[in-house]
Amino acid sequence: MKILVAVDGSACSKRMLAHLVSEAMWRGDSHQYTVFHGIEPLPHRAAALAPPPTVRALYDSQAEAVLRPVRTFLHRHGIDARFVHKVCRPAREIARMAAVQHFDLVIMGSHGHGRLGNAVLGSVVTQVLAQAKTPLLVFR
């Protein structure tokens, strides 16, 4: 199964990863994992104040802060994954990647912040549900 794992460094993402490594059905060579972290772009005016290499370094640093512990955790548990980060609108990119790259499943954690937990699910999860045709497994 080809699985897209969307992470953001939150406690929900950490619980999702803990479940992933604890259940035998998610381990083994029968799954191909891609771990994705989407980074919201800086407002245009803020990005314009710094040279492009500085802005890129900021984005890369933010991505590495989220992906490094995930990479270490999965490696320690014998799960091989491809790691991708992109400056984007995360929900839109998750749905796009799931469709274009023909993922069988998207797994992600849900924050449940804002407007009463965005009516139980986080806003990114809600947007992915609205946009994606790929099945979505959400951890709270």
The CB density around residue 125, as the number of other CB atoms within 10 Å, is 25
**Edge-first strand listing for the sheet containing 105-109:** 81-87, 32-39, 2-6, 105-109, 136-139
Which candidate, 82, 100, 119, 118, places its Cα nearest to that of 7?
Answer: 82
State the pLDDT at residue 92. 95
Q: Angle 59-74-24 (CA atoms, 0-180°, nearest 5)?
A: 140
3-class secondary-structure state, position 36? strand
Domains held by the chain: number: 1
User: What kind and span of H or E run contains 140?
Assistant: none
d(CA 73, CA 34): 14
State the pLDDT at residue 122. 60
pTM of the model: 0.89
State the pLDDT at residue 104. 97
User: What is the block-wise mean pLDDT of the chain (140 residues), using blocks of 10 residues?
Assistant: 95 92 84 96 86 93 97 95 96 96 94 47 82 90
What is the domain-level CATH number for residue 108?
Answer: 3.40.50.620
Could you tell me which residues come within 8 angstroms of residue 84 by beta carbon, excluding any fewer than 6 positions away? 34, 35, 36, 37, 97
Give the domain range for residue 114: 2-139
- Measured in degrees and rounded to the nearest 5, phi and psi for residue 31 equal -115, 145
Tokens read off for 130: 């609205």
